[in-house]
Amino acid sequence: MSWYRSPLSPDQIAAGELPRRQEAFSAAFKAAGAPRMMALFQQECDDGACELYLTPDCGAFASELLQAWDASPCERPPLPGLQLLIGHNEITYYLP
């Protein structure tokens, strides 16, 4: 299963897109029953942009968000610099 990546530009961040996406993901997470392997991560970029990463289980539980955010399949991101935004804290022990 693939992870998913959705980049945010510095302009999108300045316009408040990150909190809107966190709210949307939180609602999808709760509606799905808070699955153990469903999570949203952030990795900040040097230029003020950021990358959002969604775990493979999001394909089953939040496919509408993946589509709306133009999220593309990707490899699992490296853990250094990765910040858990929404999900269970212990997920880093079980990352696929």
**What does the pLDDT look like over 3-57, one tens digit per residue?**
999 999 999 999 999 999 999 999 999 999 999 999 999 999 989 899 999 999 9
**pTM assigned to the model:** 0.92
Band (94; pLDDT cuts 50, 70, 90):
low
pLDDT value at position 96?
A: 60
Averaged over 69-87, what is the pLDDT? Answer: 92
Phi-psi region at 78: left, alpha or beta (left = phi > 0; alpha = psi -120 to 50)? beta
> Whole-angstrom Cα distance, residue 46 to residue 10?
10
> Whole-angstrom Cα distance, residue 80 to residue 76?
12
Do the Cβ atoms of 74 and 82 come closer than 8 Å? no
| CB neighbour list of residue 6: distance below 8 Å, 6 or more residues apart | 21, 51, 52, 53, 54, 66, 69, 70, 71, 72
